[in-house]
């Protein structure tokens, strides 16, 4: 027998849990503005996220999926994209969305049960977060096809949890992206848990990254709590796609420090000490340690940032709680470009019924 | 007394069948250790072991396709879709295989599967979690579609569904999962899978509903009774095969019928019932059959959800309309 093919999956980490560099850092790591902006996004998103849970707990928001512990990956994903690229996110990627000019208010509004949270006033092209798991991967592939077809120098990026990689849509998207060499990047947030199902029960693969191999393109695993690794590898993958060199799958190892959603109680199925251990690896502390080491950050700046983030969130909450109810005709008016005649009567019925 | 909620009655029925039939296996996303996101399979893994109650990878087409393979080889899968809104990746397997395996093979292979799924609105769930699309399944030859509306019927109908040799779509109205408790003796007695249930008798109007809307319908019947209008109230329960005779008998008596469902109005199960009444009892009718339903729109996200849902007031208004016709 001879070897028909051989593959290897690389793992990349720059920053250790204590924020110390493990190896030579990419040049952007010494760009103070860039690094501080990433950090600020992460801290802002954490403040936003903590508040969302509080709003849900006090009956002012619906079921909410927290992003606690996954801020670095998400912030890096958003920051690595260009404005004209297209993002097809899953439901835990607020940091990326916010980087892409979706407002915190829109995200609150969305989880508050109001479709207008999907309007994205300052972002015309991105998809709304995908609820049916895995389906968004194909949308990204389709968007990438459109870019290629229209000879636009744009890239589609999609995100998914590791549980979602068990879905057919995920494999189908990888396959077609590989076969057609589409300008798309798949980012898997491997946060170890799909609600109560641990990563090890989801697949026998040693890595999720290797699933790209079967689709004929590169997969790479990174430390998803390492902002530098995330920004570097996702950025490289996007550059590669933009050059016409095809898709990449990035598997980022994170940990879901929160319950699955506010409707979940993770203590039913996972050990507290696992969570405690994971807290040691979480990304905000690590990024701050790095920034402090290289002299970009200090306690004073931190205190000011905390105040600023809280202020921003308070202002958004104030707006959120005072949003006017959606006009009832909205329930009908967005189903078709033109309202079919048979819906006119029902539309009237709803409006009259509320008077 | 064994006071149970609807979701606990589901659990009790599954447990009963796990205990009495070694071919029953229970699986889906988060049904094992977590006991299901609504706790419908709570503690079953502890009681019956990981061999028989287990989590699957996150993939619905897989859940349905596996069920088909298992069921043709002697197992009786009771598979959960976490929400009806996520069953669609499995539609191909259910429609193209589960529903027609018996027919394609002229009886050589068949699929004794129960596909369970919570459904319906009213719990402030995220997008895609609140739709009522029972008609999609009722339209498919070869499937049975069952929707319980009380703990007692959940238990008895689920037993029947698990024992049935053909695929059953068992839809659980999650808004009423914990609404009321009833005495549900764990006696292993199944209810018929081809019968409507008459919940209340009256001679003036027939109210037909199923699932969570049974509760609004019964409330409306109570209020109407105070107005002097006595309603026959029918819980369809088994949507398919439809027990039209029970409905026709009632309509022949009352001459009036109002159908209540949460699903969108057009092309729904209510349309089928109305059509059959038109075909078979036209001359008994004193008024056109009325439907009180959801609108023909995407289920609104929860802020405006209540404007979509049929209400007691709307049911009463429809009844008054038929009375005055
Ligand atoms: C098609 C589909 N099936 C099931 C669900 C219900 N559900 C929501 S989140 C979830 C687990 C997702 O886990 P993972 O993909 O690992 O992402 P995470 O939530 O952990 O970030 C499930 C089963 C869904 N939303 N869509």
Residues spanned by the domain of B271 = 197-322
Give yes or no for a contact between A156 and A220, defined as CB atoms under 8 angstroms apart: no
Please answer yes or no on whether A131 and B300 come within 8 Å at the CB atom: no
The reply to whether ligand 1 has any atom less than 6 angstroms from the CB of A166 is no
Give the three-state DSSP class for A223.
Answer: strand
In a domain, B88, yes or no: yes
pTM over 0.95: yes
- The total number of structural domains that make up chain B: 2
- Mark whether B44 and B108 lie in a shared domain: yes
The reply to whether ligand 1 has any atom less than 6 angstroms from the CB of B91 is no
The reply to whether ligand 1 has any atom less than 6 angstroms from the CB of A161 is yes
In this structure, what DSSP letter does residue B38 have? T
- Mark whether B7 and B144 lie in a shared domain: yes
Domain spanning A11-324: CATH superfamily: Thiamin diphosphate (ThDP)-binding fold, Pyr/PP domains (3.40.50.970)
- Residues of B with Cβ-Cβ distance to A328 under 8 angstroms: 304, 307
The pLDDT tens digits of the residues spanning A174-231 come to: 999 999 999 999 999 999 999 999 999 999 999 999 999 999 999 999 999 999 999 9
Using CA atoms, how far apart are residues B132 and A306, in angstroms rounded to an integer?
Answer: 45
Q: What CA–CA distances, in Å, run from A124 to A121, A182, A323?
A: 7, 22, 22
In a domain, B191, yes or no: no
Domain end among B116, B148, B183: B183
Using CA atoms, how far apart are residues A105 and A318, in angstroms rounded to an integer?
Answer: 10
- Residues of A with Cβ-Cβ distance to B308 under 8 angstroms: 331
- Mark whether B122 and B18 lie in a shared domain: yes
B300: nearest CA partner in chain A: A331
- Mark whether B152 and B212 lie in a shared domain: no
Domain end among B133, B160, B183: B183
Give yes or no for a contact between B138 and B168, defined as CB atoms under 8 angstroms apart: no
CA B186, B122, B235 angle in degrees (round to 5)?
50
B265 and A CB contact within 8 Å: yes
In b/e form, how buried is each residue of A164-179, taking b as 16+ CB within 10 angstroms? Answer: bbbbbbbbebbebbbe
- Ligand 1 atom nearest to CA at A70: 21
Please report the pLDDT score of residue A353 as a whole number: 79
Active-site annotation of A, residues: 256, 260, 269
- Mark whether B160 and B93 lie in a shared domain: yes
In a domain, B44, yes or no: yes
- Mark whether B178 and B243 lie in a shared domain: no
Using CA atoms, how far apart are residues B125 and B172, in angstroms rounded to an integer?
Answer: 15
B33 and A CB contact within 8 Å: yes
Determine the distance in angstroms separating the CA of A131 from the nearest CA of chain B, rounded to an integer: 7
Q: How many CB atoms lie within 10 A of CB B227?
A: 12
Mean per-residue pLDDT for A308-313?
A: 98
The set of residues, in sequence order, having a beta carbon less than 8 Å from that of B157 and lying 6+ positions away, is B146, B148, B170, B190, B191, B193, B237, B238
CATH number at residue B177: 3.40.50.970
- Mark whether B148 and B57 lie in a shared domain: yes
Using CA atoms, how far apart are residues B168 and A121, in angstroms rounded to an integer?
Answer: 45
Please answer yes or no on whether B303 and A113 come within 8 Å at the CB atom: yes
Using CA atoms, how far apart are residues B271 and B317, in angstroms rounded to an integer?
Answer: 19
Q: Which two tokens stand for residue B309?
A: 């849902």
Backbone phi and psi for residue B98, each to the nearest 5 degrees, phi listed first: -55, -45
- Residues of B with Cβ-Cβ distance to A134 under 8 angstroms: 58, 89
Give the Å distance between the CA of A56 and the centre of ligand 1.
Answer: 20
Write out residues 55-74 of A within 8 Å (CB-CB) of B: 62-63
Q: Which helix (H) or strand (E) holds A40?
A: helix A32-57
pLDDT tens digits in sequence order for chain B, 325 residues long: 899 999 999 999 999 999 999 999 999 999 999 999 999 999 999 999 999 999 999 999 999 999 999 999 999 999 999 999 999 999 999 999 999 999 999 999 999 999 999 999 999 999 999 999 999 999 999 999 999 999 999 999 999 999 999 999 999 999 999 999 999 999 999 999 999 999 999 999 999 999 999 999 999 999 999 999 999 999 999 999 999 999 999 999 999 999 999 999 999 999 999 999 999 999 999 999 999 999 999 999 999 999 999 999 999 999 999 999 9
- Mark whether B175 and B288 lie in a shared domain: no
- Mark whether B161 and B204 lie in a shared domain: no
- Ligand 1 atom nearest to CA at A162: 16
Please answer yes or no on whether A331 and B88 come within 8 Å at the CB atom: no
ipTM field: 0.96
A325 and B CB contact within 8 Å: yes
Q: Find residue A253's DSSP bridge partners.
A: A190, A223
The set of residues, in sequence order, having a beta carbon less than 8 Å from that of B198 and lying 6+ positions away, is B232, B233, B234, B235, B246, B250
- Mark whether B158 and B207 lie in a shared domain: no
Domain end among B123, B156, B183: B183
Using CA atoms, how far apart are residues A224 and A253, in angstroms rounded to an integer?
Answer: 5
B302 and A CB contact within 8 Å: yes
Query: Can you give the residue ranges of every domain in chain A?
Result: 11-324, 326-355
The 3-class secondary structure across B184-202, one letter per residue, is CCCCCCCCCCCCCEEEECC
Q: What CA–CA distances, in Å, run from B251 to B260, B315, B323?
A: 15, 17, 13
In a domain, B192, yes or no: no
Give yes or no for a contact between A270 and A193, defined as CB atoms under 8 angstroms apart: yes
- Mark whether B119 and B214 lie in a shared domain: no
CATH number at residue B308: 3.40.50.920
- Mark whether B54 and B168 lie in a shared domain: yes
Active-site annotation of B, residues: 129
Please answer yes or no on whether A133 and B58 come within 8 Å at the CB atom: yes
- Residues of B with Cβ-Cβ distance to A330 under 8 angstroms: 304
């Amino acid at each position: 027998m001879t070897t028909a093919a051989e593959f290897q999956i690389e793992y990349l980490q720059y920053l250790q849990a204590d924020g110390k560099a493990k190896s030579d850092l990419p040049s952007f790591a010494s760009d103070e503005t860039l690094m501080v902006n990433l950090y600020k996004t992460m801290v802002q998103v954490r403040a936003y996220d903590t508040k969302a849970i509080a709003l849900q707990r006090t009956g002012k928001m619906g079921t909410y999926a927290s992003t606690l512990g996954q801020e670095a990956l998400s912030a890096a994903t958003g920051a690595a994209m260009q404005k004209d690229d297209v993002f097809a996110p899953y439901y835990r990627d607020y940091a990326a969305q916010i980087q892409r000019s979706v407002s915190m208010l829109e995200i609150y509004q969305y989880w508050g049960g109001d479709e207008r949270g999907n309007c994205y006033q300052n972002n015309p092209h991105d998809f709304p977060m995908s609820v049916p798991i895995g389906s968004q991967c194909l949308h990204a592939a389709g968007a990438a096809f459109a870019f290629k077809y229209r000879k636009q120098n744009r890239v589609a990026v999609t995100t998914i949890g590791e549980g979602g990689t068990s879905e057919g849509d995920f494999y189908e998207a990888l396959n077609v992206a590989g076969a057609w060499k589409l300008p798309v990047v798949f980012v898997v947030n491997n946060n170890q848990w799909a609600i109560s199902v641990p990563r090890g029960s989801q697949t026998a693969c040693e890595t999720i990254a290797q699933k790209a191999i079967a689709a004929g393109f590169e997969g790479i695993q990174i430390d998803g709590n390492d902002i530098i690794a995330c920004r570097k590898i996702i950025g490289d993958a996007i550059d590669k796609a933009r050059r016409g060199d095809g898709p990449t799958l990035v598997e980022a190892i994170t940990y879901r420090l929160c319950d699955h959603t506010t409707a979940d109680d993770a203590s039913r199925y996972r050990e507290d000490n696992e969570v405690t251990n994971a807290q040691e690896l979480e990304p905000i502390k690590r990024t701050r340690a790095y920034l402090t080491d290289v002299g970009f950050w200090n306690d004073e700046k931190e205190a000011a940032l905390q105040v600023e983030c809280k202020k921003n969130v308070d202002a958004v909450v104030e707006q959120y709680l005072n949003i006017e109810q959606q006009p009832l005709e909205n329930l009908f008016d967005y189903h078709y470009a033109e309202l079919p005649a048979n819906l006119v009567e029902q539309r009237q019925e709803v409006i009259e019924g509320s008077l | 007394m064994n006071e149970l909620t609807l979701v606990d009655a589901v659990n009790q029925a599954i447990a009963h069948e796990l205990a009495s039939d070694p071919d029953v296996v229970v699986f889906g996303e988060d049904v094992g250790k977590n006991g299901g996101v609504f706790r419908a399979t709570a503690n079953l893994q502890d009681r019956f072991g990981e061999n028989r109650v287990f989590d699957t990878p996150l993939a619905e087409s897989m859940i349905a396709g596996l069920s088909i393979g298992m069921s043709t080889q002697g197992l009786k899968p009771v598979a959960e879709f976490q929400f009806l809104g996520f069953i669609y990746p499995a539609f191909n397997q259910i429609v193209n295989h589960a529903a027609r395996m018996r027919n394609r093979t002229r009886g050589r292979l068949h699929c004794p599967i129960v596909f369970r799924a919570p459904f319906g609105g009213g719990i402030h769930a995220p997008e895609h979690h609140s739709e009522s699309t029972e008609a999609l399944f009722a339209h498919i030859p070869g499937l049975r579609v069952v929707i319980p509306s009380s703990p007692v019927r959940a238990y008895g109908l689920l037993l029947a569904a698990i024992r049935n040799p053909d695929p059953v779509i068992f839809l659980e109205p999650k808004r009423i999962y914990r609404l009321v408790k009833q005495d549900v003796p764990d006696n292993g007695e199944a209810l018929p899978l081809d019968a409507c249930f008459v919940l209340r008798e009256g001679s003036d109007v027939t109210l037909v509903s199923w699932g969570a809307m049974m509760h609004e319908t019964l409330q409306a019947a109570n209020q109407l009774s105070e107005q002097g209008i006595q309603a026959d109230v029918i819980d369809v329960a088994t949507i398919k095969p439809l027990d039209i005779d029970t409905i026709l008998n009632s309509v022949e008596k009352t001459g009036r019928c109002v159908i209540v469902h949460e699903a969108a109005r057009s092309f729904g199960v209510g349309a089928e019932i109305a059509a059959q009444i038109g075909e078979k009892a036209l001359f008994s009718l004193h008024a056109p059959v009325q439907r009180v339903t959801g609108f023909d729109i995407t289920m609104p996200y929860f802020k405006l959800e209540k404007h979509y849902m049929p209400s007691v007031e709307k049911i009463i208004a429809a009844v008054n309309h038929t009375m005055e016709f």
